[in-house]
Amino acid sequence: MPTSPFMSLNGRVVPYDQCNIHAFSGVVKYGAGVFEGLRAYWNAEREELFVFRLHEHLERLRFGMKVLRFDTVFEADFMAKSLLDMIRANNLRENVHLRMIAFLDGDDELSSTGPVGLVCGAVPRPASKAVQDGVHIAIGTYGRLSDNVLPPRVKSTANYVNNRAAELEAKRNGYNGVLMLTGQGKVSEGSGACFFMVRNGALHTPDVASDILESITRDTVIRLARAMGMEVHERTIDRHEVYAADEAFWCGSGYEVQPVLSLDRLAIGSGAPGAITRALQKDYFATVEGRTNEHPDWLTPVWAKG
């Protein structure tokens, strides 16, 4: 059991093995769920655990509940309290990955819209080795789902059948991960991360109409890069343009910022993590760990009194 001993179910802290829903609930039958993956970082010097961009994650979750036409869209305050109560019940003082799912409960037919439940849990997790070492990825045979099929900008459970198939294929073929293309053959995103490349000192990333999740880490990286004086372009990107990039990386709350060293076994740039990627990583970790004073609004302290 990788998950911490206490979870939250519908606003109540419960032991892990009592966090149950019915096997015929709407989320199980129809994939009618929407979820978030967030991280909280322990800052030893400040003796504080900071949840990164909690507000933005909760607003994306609420947007997903609206688009799935759930008859209840939980207030952000209720969801924040559920999450923080769970973290405190586990007495967490280390880096953790946090998971929240708003789900269709009950046992009804396809077009039911409630009742709606909320579950939160935590998994202690240090940074992955890929942050230092980088990853080798491939374009697979599965295209990214498109906006008129399922909404890519909603982090819905059902969407991840697409991501999972693409990731499994890449791993079967010996890669660390997959870069998906849109139905039009343009670069979209990874199975759990948004993609960036560096060309001539500027950052380029697929725009929000490239069937991507509107990633919070992507937004963070764009803001940090612009604050460092870099140009950032959000636009359509061709597969073969990635082969011409000087550097590349992908990012997400779970992935953090991972250098992409090759695509389809063609080295990107020198084939080693690039200087701009390293500079952005440095800034990213200083920000999420609360070692800068630039973005206090992005950090929710778990243990602060009052």
Residues of this chain that interact with ligand PMP (CB under 6 A) are 37, 155, 163, 189, 192-194, 213, 215-218, 252-253
Nearer to ligand PMP, 4 or 162 (CB): 162
Sign of the CA dihedral with 164 first, then 168, 170, and 174 last: positive
Sole residue written with tokens 């419960």: 14
Nearer to ligand PMP, 49 or 216 (CB): 216
Nearer to ligand PMP, 205 or 262 (CB): 205
Phi, psi (degrees; rounded to nearest 5) at 217:
-70, -40
CB of 11 vs ligand PMP, minimal distance in Å = 24
CB of 154 vs ligand PMP, minimal distance in Å = 11
CA distance 147 to 33: 17
CB of 159 vs ligand PMP, minimal distance in Å = 7
Nearer to ligand PMP, 136 or 155 (CB): 155
Nearer to ligand PMP, 116 or 213 (CB): 213
For residue 281, which of 242, 247, 234, 249 has the smallest C-alpha distance?
A: 249
CB of 64 vs ligand PMP, minimal distance in Å = 11
Nearer to ligand PMP, 100 or 268 (CB): 100
CB of 42 vs ligand PMP, minimal distance in Å = 19
CB of 223 vs ligand PMP, minimal distance in Å = 13
b/e code 108-123 from CB counts within 10 Å (16+ = b): beeebeebbbbbbbbe
Q: At what angle do helices 216-227 and 275-288 cross, to 10 degrees?
A: 110
Nearer to ligand PMP, 122 or 213 (CB): 213
CB of 264 vs ligand PMP, minimal distance in Å = 20
CA distance 87 to 96: 9
Do the Cβ atoms of 248 and 200 come closer than 8 Å? no
Beta strands (DSSP E) in the chain are: 6-9, 12-15, 33-43, 48-52, 96-104, 116-124, 135-139, 177-181, 187-190, 194-199, 202-206, 232-235, 247-252, 256-263, 266-267, 299-301
